[in-house]
Amino acid sequence: MKSLVDTYTLANGVRIPVVGFGTWQTPAGEIAKTAVKAALTSGYRHIDTAEMYGNEQSVGEAIKESGIARQQIFLTSKLNNHAHNYQAATAAIDQSLKTLQVKYLDLFLIHWPNPKAARNANWKQHLQDTWEALEDAYKAGKIKAIGVSNFRPHHLQILAETQTIQPMVNQIRICPGDLDLKTIDYCRQNNILLEAYSPLGTGKIFTNDTLKQIAAKNQRTVAQICLRWSLQHQFLPLPKSVHENRIEENSQLFDFSLSKADMETIDQLKGIVGYAADPDTVEF
């Protein structure tokens, strides 16, 4: 890997840039537009959004205003939690296309496997029907690749009971101190690319003495160390920021490598990431 436009190849042959620019918690309007345009200026060609982020329109406007050809940008969005059945998911995909002002999405994900709105006796059927809607949108050319987010192996196994197309991506939380090895191993065994959201964890990660020491030794920032660690594990990190200097900093990942010893040290970190409980993450 030499740059932000280097790619991984998904199971269906679609090529996806190895780093994406995340827009979670990025306010709609000028903040989101400025951030996305700054990312594109810094060389990002992979933009990740979601209906529930509330900023799809701003992301779409930023892409159009950037002047960069649509086919040069890899654009991802995700299904909102209220749309877990075939009809609702189909309508949601069409709405995301309209809101983003694009004719197709490069990647579309089911955002959660078990949202509260779909937790009833038929939740497995809802999940399978929702996946069928993504498959049909893929076959219709509305989406170039399809996948999931926040899925664990047992959720993927539920899809496998009825799917005709296997998920190509699973976007999960991965950062130093937070490695779900069971899910990572399952995805790798089944040729499902792992995207790493929150690759910088929370603010606590920036005060970790081990990461600070590794950063100083490599003459890099803690953020760059975390993102490089993700890349060397063949994950696809999705850093986010609304600050142009941070956006640029997070793109500078390809002129250094972490040693085997540094990688192993980071792998062993525990308990440095804290997250607030989210009702949609409850095991189900």
Helix (H) or strand (E) run with residue 171 in it: strand 169-173
- Identify the residue whose tokens are 């020491």: 213
The secondary structure of residue 140, as a DSSP letter, is T
Residues 156, 172 contacting (CB under 8 angstroms): no
Residue 175 contacts residue 205 (beta carbons within 8 Å): yes
Q: Which of 8, 44, 53, 104 is catalytic?
A: 53
15-17 and 7-9 strand pairing: antiparallel
Contact in structure between 192 and 150 (CB atoms under 8 Å):
no
> Could you give the CA distance from residue 16 to residue 20 in angstroms, rounded to a whole number?
9
CB 36 within 8 A of CB 63: yes
Whether 275 is catalytic: no
DSSP character string of 104-124: -BSEEEES-SS-GGG-STTHH
Q: Which residues are catalytic?
A: 53
